[in-house]
Copies of this chain bind each other. A is one copy, B any other.
């Protein structure tokens, strides 16, 4: 704040000027002193001036509602919602989310610096603080071609942006543990700023090394013992409860009043449909309290503790000098936000955003599907040997098994086989870098005919296509190439369902409800 703004704030605080707003008759959730306070809250110029009785131009009678700092998600990939940042905000703000710490890992793997810049530009002026951690793993692997390579030098210029907080989850944990210089360079870039971790299953000496490197947090623990060891070794434990990975129930017993400030809640990945049906941080709070966590501790973890972990002194608490990012809610069970304010402005009421959130358009992240001109022959897999290698999907798991099977042969080429639930799978490099096409077979998709294709394929997000015959696959892949990315289900040369994801081939430019409906259509079609 510049000095004249501070002077105005102080004049309001000491009672020499009327406040802009006074919140009365609320139960103030004080996450710092750990208590509920019956006090009025005065706001001036979007900032909390003081608690107590004040004159104000506008009095908001909360009629006994709880008044708390807006909720914070400590780690999320917005791209995984399939929503543009604006539509993401429209989905989460009415749920009481005031800030998210995002890692634009997906879009950076497609668009490089332009992807990070897009996320910063597209989140400017939203009724939601979108803080950015700089993606540390572009590319995520050297076994596939990503759209960009970002070393420490490419990330450095972004550090001066006021909403860039630090370095995002360092996924290459063997690189950290064995001291690979490019990885350590990125950690060193943090230079006192937060550096997030990602160390699934890392324990013992490897965990010592990972923590010693300066990485401060981890959100990959799936068992109590793993999270406990990370807590003991000085890492902040981010309890993840997302659309796919859900660790709250396993990790919650670790939280005590004495150590709760070492924890944050994060969603990591949260799909549009789950945001619509379940909610966001509010849903995590509801679940945590249902599992027995003290509601005040839960609220502190989702507000002041997370703010402190990320070094933000402007949000996360209901105290003088903090921004008036506030939520009013009825009970300590559902945490359903009745009203939401951002910088003192009412931005959501009864589950709906107030006002418009214009979509930000940037050519730099459009037309990102650059594949070579494709022919059916490109997908041919010559039969060699007796058995073909098969990727075997394990239900509800991210990891897969390797397996072999006999496949029908036609024209000297192996073919998909519906009787064994085996489809052909191709990955087409779509970043215009080498046009590589990887080919193989996969078991367990449940396809009978036609093809599926997607430009969302972690972490390099190439064009991935599975199908029962080469011509449907070719059609599906060409469709996505023409439309600039998305998801498609095709059969017999026709599109059965299609979700356009024109923003980097990852995000829709449509509303959350359109995206959710289209996803349902895709599921039915598939």
Footprint of B on A, CB under 8 Å?
Answer: 3, 6-7, 9-11, 13-15, 30, 32-35, 37, 42, 47-52, 176-179, 181, 184-185, 187-188, 192, 204-206, 208-209, 211-214, 216, 228, 231-234, 256-262, 296-297, 300, 308, 311, 313, 317, 319-322
Q: Which of B14, B49, B322 is in CB contact (< 8 Å) with A178?
A: B14
A295 to B163, CA, bound (A): 39
A231 to B320, CA, bound (A): 12
A319 to B230, CA, bound (A): 10
Distance between A387 CB and nearest chain B CB, rounded to angstroms:
39
Ranked 8 nearest A-B pairs via Cβ: A50-B208, A234-B319, A13-B209, A212-B320, A257-B257, A7-B179, A34-B258, A212-B321
A33 in contact with B228 (CB, 8 Å): yes
A33 in contact with B179 (CB, 8 Å): no
B258 in contact with A205 (CB, 8 Å): no
B258 in contact with A13 (CB, 8 Å): no
B262 in contact with A49 (CB, 8 Å): no
Known: A179-B7, A261-B261, A262-B32. A208 touches B320 (CB 8 A): yes
Distance between A260 CB and nearest chain B CB, rounded to angstroms:
7
B212 in contact with A13 (CB, 8 Å): yes
Smallest Cβ-Cβ distance to A37: which chain B residue: B232
A296 to B234, CA, bound (A): 16
A216 in contact with B313 (CB, 8 Å): yes
Smallest Cβ-Cβ distance to A260: which chain B residue: B258
B259 in contact with A6 (CB, 8 Å): no
Q: 15 A-B residue contacts at CB 8 Å?
A: A3-B184, A10-B178, A10-B209, A13-B177, A13-B208, A14-B177, A32-B234, A33-B231, A34-B259, A37-B232, A48-B212, A50-B233, A212-B320, A216-B313, A308-B308
Of A3, A208, A311, most buried by chain B (CB within 10 Å of CB) is A208
Which residues does chain B contribute within 8 Å of A35, judged by CB atoms?
Answer: 232
Which residues does chain B contribute within 8 Å of A208, judged by CB atoms?
Answer: 13-14, 42, 49-52, 320
A320 to B35, CA, bound (A): 34
B3 in contact with A234 (CB, 8 Å): no
Known: A192-B311, A258-B34, A259-B33. A11 touches B320 (CB 8 A): no
Known: A13-B205, A50-B208. 6 other contacts (CB 8 A): A6-B179, A6-B212, A7-B179, A14-B209, A209-B320, A232-B319
Which residues does chain B contribute within 8 Å of A259, judged by CB atoms?
Answer: 32-34
Known: A9-B212, A51-B208, A52-B205. A233 touches B320 (CB 8 A): yes
Which residues does chain B contribute within 8 Å of A308, judged by CB atoms?
Answer: 308
Q: Which of B49, B179, B317 is in CB contact (< 8 Å) with A234?
A: B317
A297 in contact with B213 (CB, 8 Å): no
Which residues does chain B contribute within 8 Å of A216, judged by CB atoms?
Answer: 313
Which residues does chain B contribute within 8 Å of A234, judged by CB atoms?
Answer: 32, 317, 319-322
A209 to B320, CA, bound (A): 7
Which residues does chain B contribute within 8 Å of A3, judged by CB atoms?
Answer: 179, 181, 184-185, 188
A6 to B215, CA, bound (A): 12
A213 in contact with B321 (CB, 8 Å): yes
Which residues does chain B contribute within 8 Å of A258, judged by CB atoms?
Answer: 34, 257, 260, 296-297, 300
